[in-house]
Structure 1
Amino acid sequence: MERSGETAINIPESNSAKHKSVPLASATTKAVPLPLPQPAWKRGVSIFDFILRVCALVAALAATATMGTTDQTLPFFTQFFQFQASYDDLPTFTFFVVANAIASGYLLLSMPFSIVTIVRPHAAGVKLLLLILDTVVMAFTTAAAAAAAAIVYLAHNGNSNTNWFAICQQFNDFCQRVSGAVVGSFIAAVILICLVVLSAVALRRH
């Protein structure tokens, strides 16, 4: 094209000019968020949970063994009459032994699950399962300990209204052993209550 005696020269565009500039954001790959490390308190709670289970197992086993081996025979007896006291003479004490034996077996079986919560503090399903089972066993153990405590009280003090005589003056060793077994069972029940509260708090803050 000519204008005023001048010639215009068309210069072809370069290949680099034809291509559109690629945005930097599209060229870079999206960063995948890495899982955040679990807070240290969760692992600490799981370790404390395992320690409590060991303590509860020792208390429940001691209560079971003490009550299950309680038997006393008074030294003065004749060929036809023997004064003997055994735990299986009372259905309440038999229930006590069975309940604490079940609690001991459960606490032993629950320890691998407690170890799983130490390795994987974010495993909410395992904690929920332990929370439910701990609640059931806690109620079972508390009921057995409370029932046995009522019988121990009557054995120590008696009840004149129902003609229940105190036998601990004669069967002193028997009463001491069953009293110790009841105390051990209550200790196991209190620890189980702590386990329930601990699991509930851990799940609440999960």
Structure 2
Amino acid sequence: MSSANEATVIHVDNTTGKAPVTAQPPPAAAPTAPVQQQQRKSGGVPFLLRGGADGFRRCMAFVDLLLRIVAFGPTLAAAIATATSNETLSVFTEHFEFRARFDDFPTFTFFVAANAIAAGYLVLSLPFSVVGIIRPKATVVRLLLLIGDTVMVVLVTAAASAAAAIVYVAHEGNMRANWVPICMNFHGFCERTSGSVVASFLAVLVFILLVLLSACAIRRRPC
């Protein structure tokens, strides 16, 4: 019974004569509008562009992968078209024939080999390009691709330039050297080799873009 009759003791401040008021913790502040907008934007940003500089490098690595797939077609087509450009021309009788073969020209043999090597290199470089997408800070991988792309630019440019000179002589000839144009008779041979040279030069342009992308990816700051 004594506990029920006990009076409640209230501590009174001697200076003011009022009971002290306990401070309530402030309510949690709601996220401001800029923060909410930033959260919404980050949720809608594609995976390739997230992470600032890393996202930019990842996006360039994805473009690098697409360019390698694009460049594979012209190099392979140039090698196959030139290697199958042999043509036989029958004159008067079937026993008297003229033949135009790509392996009769060392330049075309080098052209086929260079484009075949470039096509094989592009296939082998695809996994390294995928690594650049997954790990945008992998500088060693980008450096290896840069070196390989530079070598391919030199190789394919040399082969395409030499083949272009032979194709020009085949179309126009050289009267001073008594070289007559053969494209007046060997139409299929000249069409295939001419198209192969154009495709090879397109591949050279793609390789140049690959070199620029690899150089930008290696830099510490985005280009």
TM-score (norm 1): 0.79
Determine the structure 2 residue equivalent to 1:105. Answer: 120
Where in structure 2 are the equivalents of 1:179-198 lying within 5 Å? Answer: 179-198=194-213
Determine the structure 1 residue equivalent to 2:191. Answer: 176
% of aligned pairs identical? 53
Whole-angstrom distance in 1 between the partners of 2:52 and 2:126:
21
Whole-angstrom distance in 1 between the partners of 2:94 and 2:131:
60
Determine the structure 1 residue equivalent to 2:96. Answer: 81
Does residue 67 in structure 1 map to residue 82 in structure 2?
yes
Q: Secondary structure at the match of 1:70?
A: coil
Could you tell me whether the CA contact under 8 Å between 2:78 and 2:196 is conserved in 1? yes
Determine the structure 2 residue equivalent to 1:8. Answer: none
Q: Structure 2 counterpart of 1:132, which letter?
A: I
Could you tell me whether the CA contact under 8 Å between 2:90 and 2:96 is conserved in 1? no
Q: Structure 2 counterpart of 1:55, which letter?
A: V
Higher relative contact order (CA 8 A, sep 6+): 1
Q: Which moved more, 1:72-81 or 1:120-129?
A: 72-81
Determine the structure 1 residue equivalent to 2:58. Answer: 43
Does residue 202 in structure 1 map to residue 217 in structure 2?
yes
Q: Which segments of 5 or more consecutive residues in structure 1 lack a partner in the other structure?
A: 1-35
Q: Structure 2 counterpart of 1:103, which letter?
A: A
Q: Secondary structure at the match of 1:98?
A: helix
TM-score (norm 2): 0.73
Does residue 56 in structure 1 map to residue 56 in structure 2?
no
Whole-angstrom distance in 2 between the partners of 1:85 and 1:77:
17
Q: Kindly state the Cα deviation for residue 204 of structure 1 after the two structures are TM-superposed.
A: 2.1
Q: Kindly state the Cα deviation for residue 137 of structure 1 after the two structures are TM-superposed.
A: 1.1
Where in structure 2 are the equivalents of 1:90-129 lying within 5 Å? Answer: 90-129=105-144
Q: Secondary structure at the match of 2:100?
A: strand
Could you tell me whether the CA contact under 8 Å between 1:77 and 1:83 is conserved in 2? no
Q: Kindly state the Cα deviation for residue 81 of structure 1 after the two structures are TM-superposed.
A: 2.2
Q: Which segments of 5 or more consecutive residues in structure 2 lack a partner in the other structure?
A: 1-49
Whole-angstrom distance in 1 between the partners of 2:124 and 2:170:
35
Q: Secondary structure at the match of 2:97?
A: coil
1:56-75 CA-to-partner distances (Å, cap 9, x unmatched) read: 11110010110111111124
Q: Structure 1 counterpart of 2:200, which letter?
A: S
Distance 1:77 1:200, change over 3 A: farther
Q: Secondary structure at the match of 1:74?
A: strand
Q: Kindly state the Cα deviation for residue 78 of structure 1 after the two structures are TM-superposed.
A: 2.8
Count the aligned residue pairs. 171
Give the alignment partner of residue 148 of structure 1, picking from 163, 181, 191. 163
Q: Kindly state the Cα deviation for residue 173 of structure 1 after the two structures are TM-superposed.
A: 1.1
